[in-house]
Amino acid sequence: MNDDVVTIKNRLGNRVVIPAHHYELDEVVDMADFLGDSYKLAVDCSKTRAEYIVFGGVSFMAEGAALLAGSDQKVLIPDPQAGCPMAQMITGEGAKAVYETLSARCDRQIIPIVYMNSHADMKAFCGAHDGTVCTSSNASKIVKRFLDEDKSVFFSPDFNLGINTANDLGIPGHEVVTVRRDGTLEGADPSSARIFLWDGFCHVHKTFTLDDISRLRSSHPDIQIIVHPECEEAVVTASDYAGSTAMIYNTVKDAAPGTVWGIGTEYRFVARMANTFSDKTIIPLRESICHDMSRITLEKLTVSLASVESFIKDKGPLIHPVTVPESLKKDAKKALQRMIDIVEAS
């Protein structure tokens, strides 16, 4: 099976690329042309001139590649069932209704900010309402920009990234409102609130606990704990560092040999780092796996690549192409561009 992917890929040459997320199975990562977190993959895909992008990741990532792809490029996902439960916790339509309710109750203009881990309809909603996208590495910068302009922010879908960002910026709890998925509001007075947080979550990161940290600190007194900001607020507070997938990778890569790291993020990524950086001791806080990422397998990758080859040869059907409706593209791209402008200007 491995030979099949390699053989087809060699025949297709630079007409095809395979991007893969860090949380993918080893067999998929081994076939990847480039590897990264959701932000890096979107940037790298926007730069490739390959006609076919066969995406090793979940659906919102493939959708992001399709959003930025040229008219001569096609994006495929080997399994369209590979979704992200967190990205599915809010829709553009649902957000619009909540946004209108919040705007009617808040004294300030509210800017919608959506995490990269979201579908195109959410990005388009933000683009159409003066809002933007953010990533786990630039969330603080993006949120601060709007708070500094005396605006309030509606942050979605990940509550934990939102509250950890608010803490980073020193926003007190009495200025934060939680917006439950049933529409109820909890916390601050909405008229004066600075941040409205949707209560979505990533089950892979929400699973880490303070006990996981205590256990590792007891068994390894010199350990340094580093976690992703999608983890619970208390877990981030009890850790030594928190940051994006890229930040975690670079921090561990650059650490001195012999150092000991307890890491709170997806298990396959942690296990791969433990193999790569064998001069350090790397221990997962616990084995938490993203099963949606596991849906992309070598077998399905082979089927996708074979469909590209048959499409080129005799117009056979492309299997699981990913497209973004034209009606969403303009506003979704506007939201992405605004993020880039804010980050580059600072």
Interface with ligand SF4 by CB under 6 A: which residues? 23, 58, 84-86, 117, 202, 204, 266, 290, 292-293
The residue among 58 and 75 lying less far from ligand SF4, judged by its C-beta, is 58
Q: In the bound complex, what is the minimum distance in angstroms from residue 238's beta carbon to ligand SF4? A: 21
Closest separation between CB of residue 161 and ligand SF4, Å?
10
Q: Strand locations in the chain, DSSP E?
A: 16-17, 19-21, 34-36, 52-54, 74-76, 110-115, 132-134, 152-156, 176-179, 185-187, 195-198, 224-227, 241-242, 260-264, 281-284, 321-322
Which one-letter amino acid corresponds to residue 290? Answer: C
Burial of 159 (0-12, 13-18, 19+ CB in 10 A): buried
Q: Do strands 241-242 and 19-21 pair parallel, antiparallel, or not at all (unpaired)?
A: unpaired
Cβ closest to ligand SF4, residue 73 vs residue 137: 137
Closest distance of CB 23 from ligand SF4, Å:
6
Q: Which one, 152 or 160, has the nearer CB to ligand SF4?
A: 160
Q: What distance in Å separates the CA atoms of residue 20 and residue 56, rounded to the nearest whole number?
A: 4
CB of 121 to ligand SF4, least distance (A): 17
The nearer residue to ligand SF4, 239 or 244, going by C-beta atoms, is: 244
Q: What is the largest CA-CA distance in the chain?
A: 63
Q: Least distance to ligand SF4 from the beta carbon of 326, Å?
A: 26
Alpha carbons 294 and 287: distance in angstroms, whole number: 14
